[in-house]
Amino acid sequence: MSDKILGLHHITAIADNAQRNHDFYTNILGLRMVKKTVNFDDPGTYHFYYGNEEGTPGTILTFFPWEGIGKGRTGVGMATEIGYSVPKNSFDFWLDRFKRYNVVVTQQAERFGENFITFSDPDGLNFSLIAPQNADDRKAWTTNEINESAATKGFHSVTLTLKKIDETAKVLTDIFGYRLLSQQNNRYRFICDAVSSASIVDLLEEPDGKTGLNTAGTNHHVAFRVANEDVQMAFHEKIMSKGLQITPKINRDYFYSLYFREPGGVLFEIATDNPGFTVDEPLAELGSNLKLPKQYEPAREEIEKVLPVLK
């Protein structure tokens, strides 16, 4: 299976305020801050990575917190909902916790035979907590307030909203090796059989949907996982052969990346497992220190003066 797409690697979104973002994801959702670094193209802005203990691919949610950028709007041509896997019978815990922290739950329902609740973060980014039909054996990151019986396991799925799903579906099936699992009204569920978790992409078809505004509270891109650079470059050739434009391989310090925009408008990335988040700090210290890309290390003092101080 190592020569295939291995489900989701990470999802990257935009926030309006670094401190508020940090507090919500570490305190309320109980994720681990796995890496605190800066945007490669804008070193005056943080790049936060949240996930499980090791930052395992399929658990990583990342943010560009551009201070004061203002609220965006989800719409067609975007990833519009991030699904997290949670243990069955954990919903009472989460409903109570969200009520305590004034997080509004917008829906409680069932989809494809799985119970879920939906909510948004302080910027309006849309999430669902989903109790999967099949047991999720990934080890969760736990906190003093959120134990193993309730903690998120990592991604269950991501939803892409599109005017038409046909060409995007072809990318998933013909290039990435996903298959159509089921359809429920205008929602089409695709699954990657190479892995047992973080394996689902839902395509939501909305022909009359409005285009979104990609600022705070919206997703920037969706990254798919491959084992290494050799597999990654094989996909580079495959994508080029389909007439899609794709970037050269880019070193992101913790993984290597390729980027292309699929026909429905969503920015896709293909990211490697290697080298991982312990390449520049030990496991016990992940997320504790500000780590800078090598080219910005000489400017550390100036960068630290510009970045908001996290409490």
d(CA 19, CA 308): 8
d(CA 141, CA 147): 8
Residues in the chain: 311
Kindly report, residue by residue over 185-205, the tens digit of the pLDDT.
999 999 999 999 999 999 999
Res 180: pLDDT: 98
- Split at pLDDT 50, 70, 90, the class of 215 is very high
Please classify residue 171 by burial: count the beta carbons closer than 10 Å to its beta carbon, then call 0-12 exposed, 13-18 middle and 19+ buried: buried
CB 189 within 8 Å of CB 165: no
d(CA 155, CA 79): 14
Res 182: pLDDT: 98
Q: Which of 168, 221, 209 is nearest to 190 (CA)?
A: 168
User: What is the CB neighbour count within 10 angstroms for residue 283?
Assistant: 12
Kindly report, residue by residue over 34-68, the tens digit of the pLDDT.
999 999 999 999 999 999 999 999 999 999 999 99
Res 2: pLDDT: 73
Average pLDDT of the chain, as a whole number: 97
pTM over cut 0.95: yes
Cis check for the bond before 275: say yes or no (omega within 30 of 0).
Answer: yes
Is the pLDDT assigned to residue 163 strictly greater than 80? yes
Kindly report, residue by residue over 233-288, the tens digit of the pLDDT.
999 999 999 999 999 999 999 999 999 999 999 999 999 999 999 999 999 999 99
Mean pLDDT, to the nearest integer, of 209-228?
A: 97
Is the pLDDT assigned to residue 1 strictly greater than 80? no
Res 19: pLDDT: 98
Adjacency order of strands within the sheet including 179-184? 105-111, 114-120, 126-130, 78-85, 154-162, 200-205, 187-191, 179-184
Residue with tokens 């991030």: 82
Helices (H), 203-287: 229-241
Domains, the chain, ordered by start: 8-306 (3.10.180.10)
Tokens, residue 164: 């038409």
Helices (H), 139-291: 166-170, 229-241
Kindly report, residue by residue over 141-152, the tens digit of the pLDDT.
999 999 999 999
